[in-house]
């Protein structure tokens, strides 16, 4: 089923959920809102009833009944006045949420689009009607396999100042087979939830005193962050990238010139100084700062390309209700780079970035699919620059992908506000896809900041700007990795690579010397000499998903063969100390 058809079916299924609940509890449910999503759908409602998952079987039975009735789904229009009168009765009396939508529609001077589920003019239990712009399937009988998933709290409009509503999540697919596959994935995803594993493995925490969406990384979590950053830098350095450093705040003028001020006004943190009248902001993006490094001195065509790289935090004022573990935070560490180059250098620079991205994802076993993200021709106001600039940028990237003989699909409406981009979708171990890496082509920011270089004829020319991210946000990528590996990180990424467990206290000094020997080889090792049984100490290391656990006694210290417990393998490895050291160093070097 095509994506648009699937979204229409899920949207219809969400309305069937609302319909079913209003049939089951007439007059006790205030329907607020509920869209289709990439994963399914959800519906927010206000009620004195506390509807939990124990009610799902009853709700699903009623939904199935509505689907079986094969009721027509009919679009209709009302004036705002007609809609106000209609939604003052007809099972909607006292529903302030519908009237808030009507106020917004009235402010736009539009008519009210509604959909009837059943025959127009009838009322519950035969017919349900709601404010909606669609699209929907033709009738309830066109809805495929569905399932309700969970209940959660959600603030109206995602604003914690508003009332907390109840939200029911569900999903729908064209066939039961597709639904079963999805249910397997979400069951696995629940087991792998990075928020749960992050706490269990002592990787990161959140503090109410620090604030929501501001993660605190432990020493173990920091190991993973630094290994990822080191890997990216190893890949980038041979291509001529250099590191730069910028501050975390800037005058708001910088973002007014860049266009971020208008496009992201609600997401910017404002900073007030008591010693100056200037207004500052916490940087939501790094690219405007980097343009100012380029603009700081005269540039010649011989200087280009200039490749700036930085791993640094940006800050977005996300609604509390939208925050989710490391997946969506307010302090976002970006692995960021910007290339300033001549037009004739774009192909080679994009090719280099493509190679870096391919090399980075190879060790993780996450296959990549490529998309060309274009502007939405129906909403040009969302983007900076004129049509000619956008056409040139989009054509350039399209031609490059064709020249590289890369399979890709075009997606309208997914471009950045300043330019089109090549997006890379990585598939994780349980089949989910994540948009992580990106290469963006930008003619607009060089124009807005009046950037220029002198060409070989002495003429002043605008450079082309490339934005690129390999892993995107460090926080979000870590959430993906934790779930991809279910916490079983490969040796090179594991915070603790080897756990030594002395057989008894009399061997502690000998094992401490062994630990130091391994640390001198830059291996991450720990010693558990707690006054507990060997079995308990081994069990703790297993729970921490340590790749190698070695129980050490007199034989091992005297040069005898080691018995090494490998993570996830029942049969233990018999190996000499020298062979083990060579094995683990080789795995780290090859990033296994």
CA atoms within 13 A on the CB side of 564: 22
Task: Tell me: is residue 194 an annotated ligand-binding position.
Answer: no
Characterize the bridge pairing of strands 548-552 and 498-502: parallel
pLDDT tens, N- to C-terminus, the chain (592 residues): 688 899 999 999 999 999 999 999 988 999 999 899 988 999 999 999 989 999 999 999 999 999 999 999 999 999 999 888 888 876 677 788 888 889 899 999 999 999 999 988 777 788 889 999 889 999 999 999 999 999 999 888 888 888 999 999 999 999 999 999 999 998 999 999 999 999 999 999 999 999 999 999 999 999 999 999 999 999 999 999 999 999 999 999 999 999 888 877 888 999 988 888 888 999 999 999 999 999 999 999 999 999 999 999 999 998 887 889 999 999 999 999 999 999 899 999 999 999 999 999 999 999 999 999 998 877 877 777 778 878 888 888 898 899 888 899 998 888 877 788 899 999 999 999 999 999 998 888 999 999 999 999 999 999 999 999 999 899 999 999 999 999 999 999 999 999 999 999 999 999 999 999 999 999 999 999 999 999 999 999 999 999 999 999 999 998 899 999 999 898 899 999 999 999 999 999 999 8
Helix or strand or coil: residue 498?
A: strand
Task: Tell me: is residue 338 an annotated ligand-binding position.
Answer: yes
Q: Is 314:332 a contact under the CB 8 Å cutoff?
A: yes
Please name each of the domains of the chain with its CATH number.
3-175 (3.30.980.10), 200-247+301-483 (3.30.930.10), 498-589 (3.40.50.800)
Q: Which two tokens stand for residue 15?
A: 């309305």
State the pLDDT at residue 262. 80
> In angstroms, rounded to a whole number, what is the distance separating the alpha carbons of residues 554 and 425?
51
* DSSP H or E segment with residue 530: none
Task: Tell me: is residue 287 an annotated ligand-binding position.
Answer: yes
State the pLDDT at residue 157. 85
Q: Is 63:117 a contact under the CB 8 Å cutoff?
A: no
Q: Is 229:311 a contact under the CB 8 Å cutoff?
A: yes
State the pLDDT at residue 1. 67
State the pLDDT at residue 90. 65
Distances (CA, A) of 550 to 205, 309, 331, 492: 29, 40, 39, 18
Contacts with 516 (C-beta within 8 Å, 6 or more apart), sequence order: none
> Residues of 263-295 as b/e, b for ≥16 C-beta within 10 angstroms?
bbeeebeebeeeeeeeebbbbbbbbbbbbebbe
Active site residues: 287, 316, 334, 336, 338, 421, 467
* DSSP H or E segment with residue 281: strand 279-282
> In angstroms, rounded to a whole number, what is the distance separating the alpha carbons of residues 29 and 21?
7
């Amino acid at each position: 089923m095509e994506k648009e058809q699937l979204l229409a079916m899920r949207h219809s299924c969400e309305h069937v959920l609302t319909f079913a609940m209003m049939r089951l509890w007439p007059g006790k449910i205030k329907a607020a809102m509920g869209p289709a999503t990439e994963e399914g759908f959800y519906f927010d409602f206000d009620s004195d009833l506390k509807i939990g998952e124990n009610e799902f079987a009853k709700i699903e039975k009623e939904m199935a009944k509505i689907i079986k009735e094969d009721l027509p789904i009919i679009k209709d229009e009302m004036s705002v006045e007609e809609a106000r009168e209609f939604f003052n009765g007809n099972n909607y009396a006292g529903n302030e949420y519908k009237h808030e939508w009507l106020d917004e529609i009235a402010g736009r001077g539009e008519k009210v689009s509604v959909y009837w589920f059943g025959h127009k003019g009838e009322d519950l239990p035969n017919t349900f009607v709601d404010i909606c712009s669609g699209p929907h399937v033709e009738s309830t009988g066109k809805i495929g396999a569905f399932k309700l998933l969970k209940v959660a709290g959600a603030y109206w409009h995602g604003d914690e100042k508003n009332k907390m509503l109840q939200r029911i999540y569900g999903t729908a697919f064209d066939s039961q087979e597709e639904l079963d596959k999805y249910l397997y994935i979400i069951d696995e995803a629940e087991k792998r939830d990075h928020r749960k594993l992050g706490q269990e493995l002592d990787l990161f925490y959140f503090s109410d005193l620090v604030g929501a969406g501001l993660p605190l990384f432990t020493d173990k979590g920091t190991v993973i962050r630094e290994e990822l950053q080191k890997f990216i830098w190893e890949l980038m350095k041979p291509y001529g990238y250099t590191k730069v450093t910028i501050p975390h705040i800037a005058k708001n003028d910088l973002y007014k010139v860049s266009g971020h001020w208008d496009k992201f006004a609600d997401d910017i943190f404002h900073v007030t100084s008591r010693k100056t009248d200037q207004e500052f902001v916490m940087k939501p993006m790094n690219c405007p700062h980097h343009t100012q490094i380029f603009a700081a001195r005269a540039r010649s065509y011989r200087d280009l390309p200039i490749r700036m790289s930085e791993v640094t935090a940006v800050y977005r004022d996300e609604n509390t209700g939208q925050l989710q573990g490391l997946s969506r935070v307010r302090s976002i560490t970006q692995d960021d780079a910007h290339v300033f180059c001549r037009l004739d250098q774009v192909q080679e620079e994009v090719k280099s970035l493509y190679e870096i991205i391919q090399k980075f994802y190879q060790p993780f076993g996450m296959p990549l699919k490529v998309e060309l993200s274009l502007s939405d021709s129906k909403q040009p106001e969302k983007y900076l620059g004129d049509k000619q600039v956008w056409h040139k940028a989009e054509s350039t990237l399209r031609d490059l992908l064709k020249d590289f003989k890369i399979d890709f699909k075009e997606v309208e409406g997914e471009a950045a506000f300043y330019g089109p981009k090549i997006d890379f979708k990585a598939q994780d171990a349980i089949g989910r896809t994540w948009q992580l890496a990106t290469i963006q082509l930008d003619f607009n920011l060089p124009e807005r900041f009046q950037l220029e270089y002198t060409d070989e004829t002495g003429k002043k020319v605008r450079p082309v700007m490339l934005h690129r991210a390999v892993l995107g946000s460090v926080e979000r990528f870590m959430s993906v990795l934790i779930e991809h590996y279910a916490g079983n990180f490969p040796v090179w990424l594991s915070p603790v690579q080897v756990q030594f467990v002395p057989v008894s206290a009399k061997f502690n000094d000998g094992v401490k010397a062994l630990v130091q020997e391994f640390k001198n080889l830059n291996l991450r090792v720990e010693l558990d000499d707690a006054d507990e049984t060997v079995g308990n100490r081994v069990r703790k290391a297993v729970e921490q998903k340590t790749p190698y656990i070695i129980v050490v006694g007199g034989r091992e210290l005297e040069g005898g063969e080691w018995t090494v417990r490998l993570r996830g393998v029942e049969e233990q490895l018999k190996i000499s100390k020298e062979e083990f050291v060579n094995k683990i160093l080789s795995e780290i070097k090859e990033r296994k």
